[in-house]
Structure 1
Amino acid sequence: MKLVVEVVEAQDLIPKDGEGSANAFAEIDFHNQRSRTRSVSKTLNPIWKQKFYFTLDSLESIKKQSIEVSVYNERKSFPYRNFLGRVRIPGSGVANRGEESLQRFPLEKKWFFSHVRGEISLKIYISPDPDTPPVEIEPEEEGEKRVKKGEEEVKEFKKVATTRHISKHQSSSPAAVPVKMPALSMSVPAEEYKLKEARLNLGERWPAGDKQVSTYDLVEQMNYLYVRVVKAKDLPPNPLTGSVDPYVDVKLGNYRGTTKHFEKKTTPEWNQVFAFSKDRIQSSVLEVFVRDKEMARDEYMGKVSFDLNEVPTRVPPDSPLAAQWYRLEDLRRAGDTKVRGEIMLAVWMGTQADEAFPEAWHADAAAVQGEGVFSVRSKVYVSPKLWYIRVTVIEAQDIVPVDANRAPEFTTKAQLGNQILKTRVSQSKSLSPMWNEDMVFVAAEPFEEMLVLTVEDRVSPGKDEILGRLVLPLTAIEKRLDHRPVHSRWFNLERYGGFLEPDPRRRELRFASRIHLRICLEGAYHVMDESTMYISDNRPTARQLWNLPIGVLEVGILGAASLAPMKTRDGHSTTDAYCVAKYSQKWVRTRTILDSFGPRWNEQYTWEVFDPCTVITLGVFDNCHLGGGDGGGNNNGKPAAKDTRIGKVRIRLSTLETDRIYTHSYPLIVLQPSGVKKMGELQLAVRFTCISLMNMVHLYGQPLLPKMHYVQPFSVSQVDSLRYQAMSIVAARLGRAEPPLRREVVEYMLDVDSHMWSMRRSKANFFRIMSVMSGASAMLRWLDEVSMWRNPVTTVLVHVLFVILLWYPELILPTVFLYMFLIGLWNYRFRPRYPPHMDTKLSWAESVHPDELDEEFDTFPTSKPHDVARMRYDRLRSVAGRIQTVVGDLATQGERLQGLLSWRDPRATALFVLFCLVAAVALYVTPFRMVALVVGLYVFRHPRFRSKLPSPPSNFFKRLPSRIDSLL
């Protein structure tokens, strides 16, 4: 069933934009489902005629709910909207489909002092289906429409690129003449994408005097009943089979946990822990049954009962409660009749701070069975230690070529796992080639692969003949901890035998030649973060090079709210959410909360901080590996399921004040092929504690990366390759843990696709540059207004200040620094109060074109039809052509500057040299103050003394030659 709300129009609204009109839009809220209309500009009688569909739980539920429709005025500055009025319609009066009618509702106030007028026209009814289901478009038709639209864009780009009459300011940027693109319709107001402060009572629910409060105070206390089933002994065998296959059932009300069973064992050992949330306890008696697993029906062997009122409470850091033996009670007889057999148990009340919490079976995950049990537990992972293997191939000697009648073309290939690098062909055509080239690989401890080097002869294009091979274990390679040089060594190459041809009859021919190498292991710093600017650690791998920590980062992962449904199970939508946090080498994963759109984790984690200019990343995912069901993995030949991303949060530590607890709800924003979407909110409590303020201040003046990075830096192509290899290694190693941290999670947390082309990112980066340059451009505009005497008072004051500084030049630098000091103090009152978060406007995610989104989510290489790919290629060429023109213009100005003294234009250079001689003599005999005064007064002269024609120096500079004449 659907609730349909058609927003038709509004009349006689209050003007709010300062021009006697309003930019009105309507927002509909029904049972935590929100939608909004488009904004209609410059009118007090907006017409929308838009329909919105809301999901109903049942026909009875709507009678207890209401529909709220609010009208706002949209603004570009803060506050981003003004309230114009609202109406509330009770759900009990909603008509069915076919019985609806257009109704007018007077707008009401939200607050007592609100000034509201006007009315809004609505149609509200219940429909079993949406009135206008989306029209299915065939892929071919959709592609044709996209191609047609793209060709129109390309024509517009070409028109802009070929236009010669562009102003000076426009020609300086590639986005000077933007092409208008239709924007995606927004269903979420902009305020929903912003950070919200959460009012939480952290630590207040922990009992007074609790020792754990000081180290576990960023989350709310959650009480659990823990049952540890250790082992059993003296279990009676089954009289029919003569053996016993025991297992244990732990039952509390409607919740039941089961241990694994052992075959034919009278003294089993389980050592499993069961946790029952105190908020969900429905019984006052805990029962532990021991059962014998049989083919037809499992037999009860005995039980142990506990009164929950008598269960002791344990508070860490107290030692774990000791388990004890309990005699089994007979189920078939009343009273306290005992049977043969005993079971060792420990039962206590505790919190999530208990050591047993991460490994325990939780009652709220009772539906998970089999291998899926391991994937719902909270875990801590550690990234492998990464090392760079730097191989310098210097030369080789006594190489025996395949064909002695041709000039050899020797190359060296190095392979480490799936990493393969090759040198260039040696320029020396002798049998002792020289290369002197560096090759860098990434490896992780413990080292599992071997480094294989082969010397090859390129006998023909695409065919290389192996002439010798060297296999080196990484454990035998020297580790370099500083920038001191590594000594080179000669290694013998194997031509036969070994890995190439293990034929014992030809071992006498094994030695062929030798190769000269310089090879070492260097401590890697996290290259997988380096190129994305989301660095979480700057330390080298070698612990000997670490400094002392300067602080501690504590994060309380409280929970999530209003998560979007991610899948369907048993006919209803659901989400099984867990959170992953990554900082430095430590990854943490919370437990999975099943079938909840508002999971409460309340788990707290701690990291040591070695550099405040680092970022912690947190991501929320939907668990699709619970065993069986829809997300069970590889079922019936289907591909393995992947955990679905829900959203991500980044927090830069340097933006946090020390010793302050930040409690905020972070919106989980995901960019999908259909546009930007809010998937819910993540509630966090973050505290950054400083250990030594002096060490932190000193750290701001230190290099970001170890000294080796600056002594022997990597090229841009090497950084990209190393980052990808490091990410692959980390994903493979974390995927081998139990439970595995899967590859799709690691890739999303490390932004593996951040280097891919995106029109949206390109526009966002361009406008970031324009925003950075806005301060300089504002300063230039102000100087232009001063020189043009737009405000005579300001111009006169600038003249006075200019003369004072000119006569007392020693005051120039103190005045500049004092001015910046005062600006800094003035801006302190406007400092950000919240940590920065993902901005949909800055990312250009709110107004992105649908085809640009489709291109961004396309595979690499592309999987689109030829026509679509051709259209996008033409669009990319047009944009790149405009960028190429701007870069060419900058190069032309630089070459003209060089042409002043290059005598490329003899007359221009002669004039400039003569001018330099006259200027030197004039500046020598004239006091500097007088020269500066004349120049300043000339720059600030009144407009009536100005000419509209360009100045002679500008004309002279534009006539200078450049090398553009030599381009093809």
Structure 2
Amino acid sequence: MNLKLGVDVAGAHNLLPKDGHGSSSAYVELYFDGQKYRTTVKEKDLDPVWDESFYFNISDPSILPSLTLDAFVYNNVKGTNSRSFLGKVSITGTSFVPYSDAVVLHYPLEKRGIFSRVRGELGLKVYITDDPTIKSSDPVVNTAVKKSEQRHTFHHLPHQTQAPANTAVPAAPPPMMRYGYEQIKPNPPPPPPKLVRMYSESSSQPVDYALKETSPYLGGGRVVGGRVIHTDKASSTYDLVEKMHFLFVRVVKARDLPSMDITGSLDPYVEVRIGNYKGVTKHIEKNQNPMWNIVFAFSRERMQASVLEVVVKDKDLVKDDFVGFVRFDLNEVPLRVPPDSPLAPQWYRLEDKKGERIKSELMLAVWIGTQADEAFPDAWHSDAATPVDSSGAASVLIRSKVYQAPRLWYVRVNVVEAQDLVPMDKTRFPETYVKAHIGNQVMKTKTVQARSLNPLWNEDLLFVAAEPFEDHLILTVEDRVGPGKDEILGRVIIPLSMIEKRADDRIIHSRWFNLEKPVAVDVDQLKKDKFSMRIHLRLCLDGGYHVLDESTHYSSDLRPTAKQLWKPTIGVLELGILNAVGLHPMKTRDGRGTSDTYCVAKYGHKWVRTRTIVDNLCPKYNEQYTWEVFDTATVLTVGVFDNSQLGDKGSNNKDLRVGKVRIRISTLEAGRVYTHSYPLLVLNPNGVKKMGEVHLAICTNFVNMLYTYSRPLLPKMHYVRPFSVMQLDMLRHQAVQIVAARLGRAEPPLRKEVVEYMSDVDSHLWSMRRSKANFFRLMMIFAPVFAVSKWFNDICMWRNPITTVLVHVLFIMLVCFPELILPTVFLYMFLIGIWNFRYRPRYPPHMNTKISQAEGVHPDELDEEFDTFPTSRNPDLVRMRYDRLRSVAGRIQTVVGDIATQGERMQSLLSWRDPRATAIFVTFCLVAAIVLYVTPFQAIAGLIGLYMMRHPRFRHRLPSVPINFFRRLPARTDSML
């Protein structure tokens, strides 16, 4: 593949003047992989615009991430061979993206040395393309050239305005499932009891609701204390699922089948039978050489027979006719161990009822494998159908799938003004406003009562859109003629794909758009007014933000939309969904309670769904998935649902929630395997109820992740141009609806109720229970303060004379030697942190009913929490007041929760909740104690005062390192129901 690196040099602004006349004559030199190109010189312009494109050859795509693109900005000194340095920009190969994802970024110019002075920004658009029609810029010059050759003028291509035909960049396939590959042992040892230890946090809850540590056999080894002890000497690696073996039967096709009907036709289908389990293919009408190409998987644990029968039948109205069969002895079936190639299917002669071979043949492949087999995800499974029913043979509603959530963008529409409006009533000035539509999202500007036909709004409207862009931005200018009566004056339709993308805070140039009449009544009047009305807009797709589609308390992804701004991965998260036990029956079948459950896991843009285990209250999934981790301050969510789509009337039902688990990544130790059984707790109108337990195995592997604690939690644009709380709530709701709509179009669909439950869409609604929980969390934070106050009051009252005398001695010593105050405090905190190390949590966080105030909650409070919004109460006055109260109280509970979160983060500094953060802080305390001991107190106080009062020029708009570190600390929001 002939890959090229494209670089569009857009322009620069606010350059440093270098020619002595308050100006500069700037040009840009680009260096990449031994090649150099140069732009033209812009004479005496501190804000030059080049708009030039260059293309570099990529000699070896495998080393592309280690290469660097360097852009140097120079001032050309006219009449001499010299030049002066204006700044440089360096871009690593990990930031290169395909053309379709590339946007113009303005990079701040960097210094070359300590004494150089630079300022300003350089706008570049960097992308990778494999378009064969694009030729490299000519000539190509090695960067190691002499100074006499540096003034050579290089040819450049004209600016490219459309995307190349092919912009795909080679990348590794996304991580999917990974399973164990060991061979079957004839007599595996029986597993020991899995339950090892049960945990309960300081805020204790019933033992039945506590977390349980287990020690299952995973990938040939037993997990003990977070480490795998291998029992198989041939196994050097382990997986996070218990290995399961399946009998796979691939039914490909048949040939030369006999005619069975009077008309000479045949409607063949195949039955695969082993014991009481039967899988059936679709019948193919009037075909003696049919093709099916379907795989059946039978769980080896449930096999109660030693013979496999594959029967070919003819579909008939009354009774299906027998055509022939093939029989296999399971002891003769081969074992396939990946990464061996798939077993080749073979032709087998069919036998009639007497056991004699006939002319007809059936192509089959039969083998024994594990979950690692590539046929596993799309196969029909015996544990996904009842033993007596094979109606789900080809159903896609029970298969495991991986979903990719769409990439979301913020659409910013700045409505500036309109000109030359033509109202229907010529005798009055219109009262105009602008209505904007994107899909189901509708927003309006304020109504302007101007005494002219040129209204001015200058108002921002924000929307959420998903790639690929399928909707249009529809703007209508409307006139409010009277109460409840509006007339459309003009309309413009703009495709979202035509709107400019940006990833930083650069200014978007405004454009005028012509308004058209929605209905043409008079042809002559239409021709006269077609281009008379127009609207002034600024449009852009903001990719510098992180579009949040989850609860405000947690997020599984903090990256901005623009891929150019993505940082390298810091590790890998692996999740093994083992099984569920003790599930509560969610439906009745044949007069008994049962469930058809599946699990959904969400992290980042990747959603996964296990296969549905039908008619089983203790299902075994044993499926493993992998995610890339970009930030430790993220949360993995795993939910269990009952599939209500099976059956004739299933499509009208909602999938029922069984429960979910949230796990914060920063609370996990790297390299440790966590195997726990999590209680599935659900709050319903009757109170909190345990619906069963889900057994998970989790492992993380991190590299170079400590520096992330000093980085801002959110992308830069969230701090440079922040959104209001109301805007974030509205945009989050829109994002969830878009994600639910897109995932609902997959096959099998991930239904809307599943996406909303996993995203906690109702967490902002008023709840007396949540408000009480947040209040008591706040009281727990201030409990040490109250305890210190009581202790100090006891000291003042001489309740304990010995303690009082010791405190007086310590106080006099600190007064006489004030330089010991801060070292003593930090040393004391260091000792507390070391002391608490032995009590550090050794398990991931989970739902806590006591913290959530879910125990003993009043029935009236639950009725209020589960009431619809707006309320379903009949009196209109009560409804209005009730809704207003819930809306205001919802804001109050959010504020109280945020305050409690800050206090809990303070507590987590020394609690080893986040082991890496506590280790960093404890080390800092020790270093600070030493530094403050050897440094005069007056000097420290003076430096702190000067730093706090520093000039605005020395301040940065992004949060400081301590604030970034503090915001990454975990809180108990993960344990809230």
Report the equivalent of 1:935: none
With 254-263 and 219-228 compared, the bigger mean Cα shift is at: 254-263
Aligned pair in 2 of structure 1 residues 794, 572: CA closer, same or farther (>3 Å)?
A: same
In 1, are the aligned partners of 2:517 and 2:526 still within 8 Å (CA)?
Answer: no
CA contact (8 A) 2:280 2:390 kept: no
> Under a length normalisation based on structure 2, what TM-score does the superposition of the two structures give?
0.67
CA-atom RMSD in angstroms:
3.2
* In 1: Cα distance, 2:354 partner to 2:584 partner: 52
Paired position in structure 1 for 2:927: none
The Cα of 1:511 is off from its aligned counterpart by: 2.2
Residues 557 and 601 of structure 1 are in contact (CA less than 8 Å); yes or no, is this contact kept in structure 2?
yes
CA contact 2:872–2:879 (8 Å) conserved in 1: no
1:299-378 equivalences under 5 Å are 299-329=321-351, 331-335=352-356, 337=357, 339-366=358-385, 367=389, 369=391, 373-378=395-400
**Structure 1, unpaired ranges of 5+:** 1-75, 81-188, 635-639, 888-927, 930-968
Q: Which amino acid aligns with 1:361?
A: W
Q: Per-residue displacement from partner, 1:510-543 (whole Å, max 9, x unpaired)?
A: 2231111110112376644454312010112222
- Summarize the Cα distance change of 1:626–1:239 in structure 2 as closer, same or farther, 3 Å threshold: closer
In the alignment, which of 213, 217, 220 is matched to residue 201 of structure 1? 217
Matched, 1:660 2:676: no
Range with bigger deviation, 482-491 or 643-652: 482-491
Are 1:223 and 2:245 an aligned pair?
A: yes
Pair 1:273 & 2:298 matched: no
> Which residue of structure 2 lines up, in the alignment, with residue 962 of structure 1?
none
Q: Distance in 2 between matches of 1:869 and 1:505?
A: 52
Of 500, 516, 521 in structure 2, the residue corresponding to residue 494 of structure 1 is: 516
Tell me, in whole angstroms, the C-alpha distance in 1 between the residues paired with 2:692 and 2:737.
30
What SS does the corresponding residue of 1:855 show, helix, strand or coil?
A: helix
Contact 1:212 1:315 (8 Å CA) reproduced: no
Matched residues in 1 for 2:693 and 2:711: separation? 37
Q: CA deviation at 1:461?
A: 2.4
Residues 46-61 of structure 1: pairs in structure 2 closer than 5 A: none
The corresponding residue for 2:425 is 403
Question: Which residue identity is paired with 2:354?
Answer: R
Distance 1:837 1:557 in 2: 16
| Partner of residue 689 from structure 1, selected from 701, 705, 708 | 701
Distance 1:819 1:192 in 2: 38
Structure 2 residue 536 is the aligned partner of structure 1 residue 512: no
Query: Does 2:245 match 1:245?
Result: no
Give the structure 1 partner of residue 711 of structure 2: 702
What is the aligned partner in structure 2 of residue 618 from structure 1?
638
Distance 2:384 2:530 in 1: 61
SS at match of 1:686: strand
Query: Could you tell which deviates more after superposition, 750-759 or 283-292?
Result: 283-292
Alignment check: 8 A CA contact 1:368 1:626 kept: no
Q: Residue in 1 aligned with 2:761?
A: 752
Structure 1 length-normalised TM: 0.67
Question: How far has the Cα of 1:212 moved from its partner?
Answer: 8.9
Question: Residue 316 of structure 1: CA displacement?
Answer: 1.8
Is 1:648 aligned to residue 665 of structure 2?
no
In the TM superposition, what are the counterparts of 1:203-602 in structure 2 within 5 Å?
203-204=219-220, 214=237, 217-238=239-260, 240-329=262-351, 331-335=352-356, 337=357, 339-366=358-385, 367=389, 369=391, 373-426=395-448, 428-496=450-518, 506-507=526-527, 509-523=529-543, 527-529=547-549, 531-602=551-622
Is this contact kept in 2: 1:858–1:864, CA < 8 A?
Answer: no
- Unmatched tracts of structure 2, length 5 or more: 1-199, 223-229, 897-936, 939-977
2:718 is equivalent to residue 673 of structure 1: no
Tell me, yes or no, if the aligned pair for 1:226 and 1:349 is still in contact at 8 Å: yes
Whether the 8 Å contact between 1:210 and 1:315 is mirrored in structure 2 is no
Separation in structure 2 between the aligned mates of residue 412 and residue 538 of structure 1, nearest angstrom:
33
Which amino acid in the other structure matches residue 363 of structure 1? S
Deviation readout 1:617-670 (Å, 9 max, x if unpaired): 111111111113xxx326xxxxx2111111111111111111101111111111
Residue 780 of structure 2 aligns to a residue in which SS? helix
* Contact 1:371 1:626 (C-alpha < 8 Å) held by counterparts: no
- Residues 799-818 of structure 1 mapped to structure 2, 5 A cutoff: 799-818=808-827
TM-aligned CA distance change 1:790 to 1:290, over 3 Å: same
Supply the distance in 2 between the matched residues of 1:621 and 1:201 (Cα, whole angstroms). 26
State the match for 1:184 in structure 2.
none
The one-letter amino acid paired with 1:626 is L
> Which residue, out of 767, 773, 785, partners 1:764?
773
Deviation at 1:415, TM superposition (A): 0.6
1:316 to 1:501, Cα distance in 2 relative to 1, 3 A: farther
| Residue equivalent to 1:608 | 628
Shift in Å at residue 875 of structure 1? 13
Q: Does 1:633 align with 2:650?
A: yes
Structure with bigger gyration radius: 1
CA distance in structure 2 between the partners assigned to 1:449 and 1:387 by the alignment: 13
Distance in 2, Cα, partners of 1:291 & 1:878: 64
2:106 aligned residue? none
CA contact (8 A) 1:196 1:666 kept: yes
| Alpha carbons of structure 1 residues 556 and 266: separation in structure 2 relative to 1, 3 Å | same
Separation in 2, partners of 1:487, 1:599: 58
Residue 848 (1) aligns with residue 857 (2): yes
> What code does the residue aligned with 1:447 have?
F
Taking a change above 3 Å as real, the CA distance of residues 280 and 363 of structure 1, as seen in their structure-2 partners, is same
> Judging changes above 3 Å, is the alpha-carbon distance between structure 1 residues 842 and 357 closer, same or farther for their aligned structure 2 residues?
same
In 2, Cα distance between the equivalents of 1:288 and 1:879? 66
1:300 Cα offset (Å): 2.3
Give CA deviations for 1:249-270 in whole Å, capped at 9, x if unaligned.
1111222111111112233221
> 1:501/1:734 Cα in 2 relative to 1: closer, same or farther (>3 Å)?
farther
| Structure 2 Cα separation of the partners of residues 644 and 305 of structure 1 | 41
Alpha carbons 1:387, 1:524 under 8 Å: kept = no
Instruction: Give the partner amino acid of 1:495.
Output: K
Native 8 Å contact 1:381 1:588 kept in 2: yes
Letter aligned with residue 614 of structure 1 = T
Cα distance, 1:877 vs structure 2: 9.9
* Alpha carbons of structure 1 residues 449 and 571: separation in structure 2 relative to 1, 3 Å: same
Give the letter for the 2:208 counterpart.
E
Instruction: Return closer, same or farther for 1:396/1:710 CA change in 2, 3 Å cut-off.
Output: same
1:731 and 1:550 map into 2 onto residues whose CA distance is 29
Are the counterparts in 1 of residues 281 and 393 from structure 2 also a CA contact under 8 Å? no
**1:788 corresponding residue in structure 2:** 797
Q: Secondary structure at the match of 2:463?
A: strand
Matched position secondary structure for 1:801? helix
Shift in CA distance, 563/880, structure 1 to aligned 2, threshold 3 Å: closer
The Cα of 1:595 is off from its aligned counterpart by: 1.8
- Note the alpha carbon deviations across 1:282-338, whole angstroms, 9 max, x for none: 222212122221223222222222221111111122221122222323x14334x2x
Give 2:35's aligned residue.
none
CA distance in 1, matches of 2:218, 2:815: 60
CA distance in 1, matches of 2:274, 2:697: 33
1:381 deviation in Å? 1.1
Alpha-carbon spacing, 1:869–1:560, altered in 2? closer, same or farther (3 Å): farther
- Counterpart CA distance in 1 for 2:768 and 2:721 is 34
Q: CA deviation at 1:848?
A: 0.6
Q: What secondary structure is seen at the aligned counterpart in 2 of 1:355?
A: coil
Question: For residues 128-147 of structure 1, what are the structure 2 equivalents within 5 Å?
Answer: none
Q: Partners of 2:459 and 2:234 in 1: how far apart?
A: 60
Partner of 2:206 in structure 1? 190
Stretch moving more, 465-474 or 526-535: 526-535
What amino acid is aligned across from residue 381 of structure 2 in structure 1? H
* Shift in CA distance, 421/773, structure 1 to aligned 2, threshold 3 Å: same
Cα distance, 1:869 vs. partner? Answer: 5.2
Q: For residues 715 and 814 of structure 2, what CA distance do their matches in structure 1 show?
A: 44
Whole-angstrom CA distance in 2 between matches of 1:868 and 1:849 = 25
CA distance in 1: counterparts of 2:330 and 2:285, whole angstroms: 32
**Equivalent residue letter for 2:572:** V
Cα pair 2:429 2:453 within 8 Å, conserved: no
